[in-house]
Amino acid sequence: MKKILYAAAECSPFIKTGGLGAVVGSLPKQLKERGYDVRIVLPAYECIDEKWKNQMTVSLPFPVHMGWRRHPITINTLEYQGITCYFLACDHYFSGDSPYSEMWMDIEKFSFFSKAVLEMLSYLEFEPDIIHCHDWQTGLIPVYLKTEYGNNPYYKNIKTVMTLHNMRFQGTTDVNTLKDITGLPDEVFAFDKLEFYGQGNMLKGGIAYADKVTTVSSTYAKEIQEPEYGEGLEGLLQYRKNDLSGIVNGIDYQIYSPVQDEYIKYHYNANTFRRAKKKNKVYLQNEAGLPADKNIFTVCIISRLTEQKGLDLLIPQLNDFLSGDVQLYILGGGEERYEGIFASVKTRYPDKVFFDVNYSDAMAKYMYAGCDATLMPSKFEPCGLSQLMALRYGTVPIVRLTGGLKDTVKVYDSRYHTGTGFGFEEYSMEALRDTLQEAMAVYRQQPEEWNRIAERGMRENYSWNTSCLEYEKLYAGM
């Protein structure tokens, strides 16, 4: 079995702001169960909870040189669920109350982290066969490995995988600044490497230098080779298409389990959900302070509130939507304009809308267990995890068919009584409106048909088991 080091900016449960942290926190555990020696490295952020810091063992400091900069670093080690996790500590870069700050600061922070990951290896007894890098924050690891460390026999056999979770975020700054920060030679900043329309681009470096490139669904792997979704890197991704694959994310079926979930009130499975979800709906309504009605159509949005999520399609028709016999539950914060709009909608419809910018696992689980449907009209969605959780809990997804949403939600077909959700392709308010109306019509006029859609969703398997097989094939071929 190959030895694999996962390098990322986030990893649940230590630090997580989105899907990246969830994936890095789950996938290595599944690989470990299959016999891989898989370990994780991430920054030792000051904002990591003290309960984790208190469990870490701390090494002696050693210097990391990056260009003309020199900073000491220590390796803090923690065993979590059988996996060795390394936290690279450097007060100069990883202090503060958030893992991220201004982009110009993060460029230098994660350049340093990329260099420090490679330096760390010479101080460990662990020699990875593969370093699996995630998103732009680790994009320079493949670059450093094949340039500055390329002639070092200790590193020559290490391969790299670069996983793209979201192409929109790339880590760009002007070329001279990135040269100064990284100390990388001029030839690295050619048009087919780190140079990007006159800027330096860390994600592009990772794509150009990694041995294999993956993204988080097969549809997104195709989409990012086109200008609409490629964010300016479609040419390079087309060039690397033989090394590019899409492997859909999974979720941890132990954590997301309506049979044993610690948060939900009434447990259930695919055979018993019909009664239990009605009871959980009333429990959710009481927790949210909305009128209890087990028959009202309940829809949830559990998401970061950003332009990517397709909220601009929903907002203009909220008044019409909420004039019907519905309740809308929104959990998550994001862009100020969306927070303001939903706060205003909540004020206008106090008996129909629940909105909380402060995400919590408890309220998310209440929603998955108690709502009839979840709404994801995304402009683009590399994979999406919310629809996988919804399927697991018998909550029917209503989605735009893009990226991982297209790969994981099978559209309902009334002729053949197939499908696990409702979907539309055209990014328009009309397409969303028609799909919502179709879903509500089935819910109200054909309740048992709705239950069969929900049941089919619950019987799907989007655990990590299937995805792990694909990663094993990828690693075996390197």
Q: Taking phi first (over 0 means left), then psi (-120 to 50 degrees means alpha), and beta for anything else, what does residue 232 get?
A: left
Q: Is 396 helix (H, G, I), strand (E, B) or coil?
A: strand
CATH superfamily of 273-461: Glycogen Phosphorylase B; (3.40.50.2000)
**8 Å CB contact between 140 and 182:** yes
What gap in Å lies between CA 143 and CA 151, rounded to an integer?
13
**pLDDT of the residue at 378:** 98
Location of each CATH 3.40.50.2000 domain in the chain: 3-250+465-476, 273-461
Beta strands in 272-425 (DSSP E): 297-302, 326-331, 353-356, 373-376, 396-400, 422-424
Strand 212-215 with 244-246, pairing: parallel
Q: What is the mean pLDDT of the chain?
A: 96
**8 Å CB contact between 49 and 78:** no
Nearest alpha-carbon partner for 24 in 48, 6, 38: 6
Q: How buried is 68 (Cβ within 10 angstroms: 0-12 exposed, 13-18 middle, 19+ buried)?
A: exposed
CATH 3.40.50.2000 fits 3-250+465-476, yes or no: yes
Nearest alpha-carbon partner for 236 in 279, 206, 275, 192: 192
**pLDDT of the residue at 19:** 85
What gap in Å lies between CA 220 and CA 230, rounded to an integer?
10
Q: pLDDT of 173-189, one tens digit each? A: 999 999 999 999 999 99
Each of the 478 residues of the chain gets a pLDDT tens digit; together they read 899 999 999 999 999 988 899 999 999 999 999 999 999 999 999 999 999 999 999 998 999 999 889 999 999 999 999 999 999 999 999 998 899 999 999 999 999 999 999 999 999 989 999 999 999 999 999 999 999 999 899 999 999 999 999 999 999 999 999 999 999 999 999 999 999 999 999 999 999 999 999 999 999 999 999 999 999 999 999 999 999 999 999 998 989 999 999 999 999 999 999 999 999 999 999 999 999 999 999 999 999 999 999 999 999 999 999 999 999 999 999 999 999 999 999 999 999 999 999 999 999 999 999 999 999 999 999 999 999 999 999 999 999 999 999 999 999 999 999 999 999 999 999 999 999 999 999 999 999 999 999 999 999 999 998 899 999 999 999 9
Give the relative orientation of helices 361-370 and 273-288 as an angle to the nearest 10 degrees: 130
Sheet containing 297-302: give its strands across.
353-356, 326-331, 297-302, 373-376, 396-400, 422-424
Q: pLDDT of 207-246, one tens digit each? A: 999 999 999 999 999 999 999 999 999 999 999 999 999 9
**pLDDT of the residue at 1:** 85
Q: pLDDT of 8-64, one tens digit each? A: 999 999 999 888 999 999 999 999 999 999 999 999 999 999 999 999 999 989 999
